Amino acid sequence: MALLRKLNTRAKSEINTGFGVNTADYGGRFINKDGKANLEKRGVSFLERTSWFHTMLDMSRWKFLLTILIVYILVNIVFAIVYYLIGVQHLAGMNTNSELEKFGEAFFFSTQTYTTVGYGRVSPTGFLSSAVAAFEALLGLLSFALATGLMYARFSRPTAYIKFSENAVIAPFKDGIALMLRIVPFKNTSLTDVEAKITLGLVTEEDGRNTNRFYSLELEYSTVNTLPLSWTIVHPITENSPLYDFTKEDFASCRGELFVFIKAFDDMYSNTVVTRSSYTFGEIVYGAKFNPMYHRSAEASSTVLDIQKLNSFTSYDLSDRMIVTSKAAEN
């Protein structure tokens, strides 16, 4: 209750975050590290709750290519079985005897028909085999049009190529301390008008029950004109901060989570891009400073940005800073 009283007097909570207030209804974190909501939807069928377009756009590159390959092989296996059941004697040009070779010829004839290559050595004879081949050719045209559209959509989709540091830190800042996290663009993009917003979700006790409360954290700078290098986002922990008077033990014992939202304008896409991530209190390192990520090149002709150092930090003793902060509060 002492913690709740401090929060009530020094910070104004938000109620329009989109997250509920009853902690018993939530499991784990609110937002995953990749920025997706930590939700499992039920009450509708799998096909009804799944947008295949968004799924294909969102999956990793190797999964996308593997999915296309698997679908391609399965479709041709199905048509090869159909041709085999109709009778390979209705496929002119086959010079095989064993059943396995016949099925193989039917499979490769299917791939040639599906891709509309049509080498001509094997061709359908009879109405049924010709009708199946015509339908497969149509299906192949539609399938490749769909695959091409998906590949173009993945390639052209506006994406914020920004990495977040794995940890946030409580670090010395001016005469006190501050919450800091770091982001960096990792591709050859040009981001301008970059805006950051951090919301704190905290579990507090009200009237004998746990409640989710949310606070918008004030930042030293909430926007930057451009983002060619890394950006350390800073929330000064002052008397108006909901994290004021939080100790290392408070971060270890309290349930809390930071929601980080980044919005920027990408010159290449000529569009706004967004990304998000989150940090639980267990991912906040109390008493640490981020190490520099960039330095002058050996020839002193350019700046070297070492993205591998995004989460590089050094431990720091904050005891003297806490004393300074306390004295400033008393004055």
Domain that holds residue 70: 49-156
Is a pLDDT exceeding 80 seen at residue 322?
no
Which pLDDT belongs to residue 32? 80
29 and 38 Cβ atoms separated by less than 8 Å: yes
Say yes or no: 140 and 210 in one domain. no
Instruction: Specify the range with the lowest mean pLDDT, choosing from 200-204, 222-226, 240-244.
Output: 200-204
Q: Among the three residues 106, 128, 156, which one is the final residue of a domain in this structure?
A: 156
Q: How confident is the model at residue 321 (pLDDT cuts 50, 70, 90)?
A: low
3-state secondary structure of 169: strand
Cα→Cα distances 136→87, 89, 145, 206, Å: 17, 19, 14, 65
Burial status of residue 74 (CB atoms within 10 A of its CB: 0-12, 13-18, 19 or more)? exposed
108 and 78 Cβ atoms separated by less than 8 Å: no
Residues 6 or more apart from 331 whose CB is under 8 A from it? none
80 and 72 Cβ atoms separated by less than 8 Å: no
Say yes or no: 147 and 35 in one domain. no
Q: How confident is the model at residue 10 (pLDDT cuts 50, 70, 90)?
A: low
Query: Which tokens sit at 75?
Result: 């479709």
Q: Among the three residues 117, 140, 156, which one is the final residue of a domain in this structure?
A: 156
pLDDT in tens, 36-72: 877 777 777 777 777 888 888 888 889 999 999 999 9
Is a pLDDT exceeding 70 seen at residue 330?
no
Q: Among the three residues 97, 127, 156, which one is the final residue of a domain in this structure?
A: 156
Say yes or no: 88 and 208 in one domain. no
Which pLDDT belongs to residue 280? 92
Burial status of residue 59 (CB atoms within 10 A of its CB: 0-12, 13-18, 19 or more)? middle
Say yes or no: 61 and 75 in one domain. yes
Say yes or no: 129 and 95 in one domain. yes
Say yes or no: 150 and 168 in one domain. no
Which pLDDT belongs to residue 329? 41
Provide the β-strand partners of residue 173.
176
Which pLDDT belongs to residue 120? 79
Which pLDDT belongs to residue 12? 59
Say yes or no: 180 and 283 in one domain. yes
H-run or E-run covering 289: strand 288-290
In this structure, the chain runs to a length of 331
Domain count, the chain: 2
Say yes or no: 72 and 57 in one domain. yes
CATH code, domain carrying 281:
2.60.40.1400
Which pLDDT belongs to residue 63? 92
CATH code, domain carrying 111:
1.10.287.70
pLDDT in tens, 133-147: 999 999 999 999 999
